[in-house]
Amino acid sequence: MPAYSSMDKNLIAEEHKKLSDLYASYKQRGLSLNMARGKPGAEQVSLSNDMLSAVTPDTVFKTEDCPDVRNYGGLDGIIEAKRIFADMLGVEAENIFVGGNSSLNMMFDTIACLMEQGAGDKPWNQQGKIKFLCPAPGYDRHFGVTGYFGIEMITVPMTENGPDMDIVEKLVSEDSSVKGIWCIPKYSNPQGITYSDETVRRFASLKPAAKDFRIMWDNAYVIHDINDTPDKLLNIFDELKKNGSEDLVFEFCSTSKITFPGAGVAAVAASKNNLALLKKRYNFQTIGYDKINMLRHALYFKNIDGVLAHMQKHKAVLQPRFEMVLNILETELGDYDVASWTKPNGGYFVSVDVTEGCAKRVVQLCKDAGVILTGAGATYPYGKDPKDSNIRIAPTYPPLDELKLAMEVFCVSAKLAAIEKFL
């Protein structure tokens, strides 16, 4: 099958008729499928059910550094939880602050803290217009936080090695109103790209014009492999240490996609200075987070090896899902010049670039046929994909048979939208 762009007009019309009929047949089925968000599926969530009996009425509530996890106190969490996060991220436990159930909330709090207090300069909210670099396609909720605080977003293109570092270095070193950058360094959302060693080293070597510039290193998928050829990410704090610039980075992670998305534990890793900065705010914000849930996690996993063993179970659930998605894409779209997509080794998404100018149309076609995708443009700052091309596929949540059907609808929609351009 030749590409639509080089097809004979009559053939195109014929193909369009075929696709329209096929699409109509899906539409007739009155489907109601959702492939929009990166939510673990029911099978994954159930993997952690046994953790719910890790803490019982008979548990010893006095822990190594806490007289009673049930009571007030312990602003930055219990040591047993800190150690697990420290080993997960390759830092020292003293560099960990364990928070509530949401790393997004900790990122939000960190931005709020810098807006209100600043970091070695005036508070961000007293410096007039400030900017954040947003590698894109990226995570819509990062852009949401940035937008909420009125920070201008500058799109930086993603490459197969991470954000385009020539552009990052230039903007960061020349413009003192650039105060930060969002990074998902491993299995990025939505492309599943892991930053190359060189990219990590260049991040650790940044010489910002703004002394209060900070990297938001959202390591959401740090141990979230989906096959047996996992990516390796260089440890950013090891590199920072070499340059004596540990203050550059706030690193975030959580157990939301390890145990329970609604009831996990989140943490931030940061230098002594940066932790002191955060604690200045947290000290007014709360007396402390849920230490019983921290202990529940610590007792269930015991240590990082327990966590890693658990992740093998997630992998076993996710691998066939991602394989199915990639197989359907290959089978249905491989012969046509209408889309390209990533083949990640981990994370929660497959990123598809459909024919330029067609993403919104594809999402609308899917919606009209009862298949909800992440909104077109959501992966870009301000929801505006300049090429109207990127669509995020989230294969984790729907039941397998629904996922298959949703992908079929997606593929016929991608072809239909593309061929409409050549009619």
- Under rule CB under 8 A, residue 32 binds a second copy: no
Residues 318, 225 contacting (CB under 8 angstroms): no
- Under rule CB under 8 A, residue 125 binds a second copy: yes
Can you tell me whether residue 350 is helix, strand or coil?
strand
Q: Which is nearer to a second copy, 125 or 327 (CB)?
A: 125
- Under rule CB under 8 A, residue 279 binds a second copy: no
Instruction: Please tell me the distance from the alpha carbon of residue 145 to that of residue 130, in angstroms, as a whole number.
Output: 14
Query: What is the C-alpha radius of gyration for the chain, rounded to an integer number of angstroms?
Result: 23
Instruction: Please tell me the distance from the alpha carbon of residue 280 to that of residue 75, in angstroms, as a whole number.
Output: 11
In angstroms, give the least distance from the CB of 45 to a second copy.
5
In angstroms, give the least distance from the CB of 292 to a second copy.
4
Burial zone of 196 (CB within 10 Å; 0-12 exposed, 13-18 middle, 19+ buried): middle
Among 11, 24, 42, 423, binds a second copy (CB under 8 A): 42
The two three-digit tokens of residue 314, written as one number: 């997630």
In angstroms, give the least distance from the CB of 288 to a second copy.
6
- Under rule CB under 8 A, residue 297 binds a second copy: no
- Under rule CB under 8 A, residue 422 binds a second copy: no
The two three-digit tokens of residue 7, written as one number: 């097809």
Instruction: Please tell me the distance from the alpha carbon of residue 219 to that of residue 285, in angstroms, as a whole number.
Output: 24
- Under rule CB under 8 A, residue 56 binds a second copy: yes
Per CB under 8 A, which of residues 259..278 are in contact with a second copy?
260-263
The two three-digit tokens of residue 327, written as one number: 């197989």
249-254 β-sheet, strand order? 96-98, 266-269, 249-254, 214-218, 178-183, 131-136, 152-159, 162-163
Q: Which is nearer to a second copy, 57 or 244 (CB)?
A: 57
- Under rule CB under 8 A, residue 237 binds a second copy: no
- Under rule CB under 8 A, residue 258 binds a second copy: no
- Under rule CB under 8 A, residue 289 binds a second copy: yes
Quick note: the x/- pattern for a second copy over 65-104, rule CB under 8 A, is ---xxxxxxx-------------------------xxx-x
C-beta neighbour count of 70 within 10 angstroms = 13
- Residues at the contact surface with a second copy, assessed by CB under 8 A: 37, 39-40, 42, 45, 48-50, 52-53, 55-59, 68-74, 100-102, 104-105, 108, 112, 116, 125, 141, 144-145, 147-149, 256, 260-263, 281, 283-293
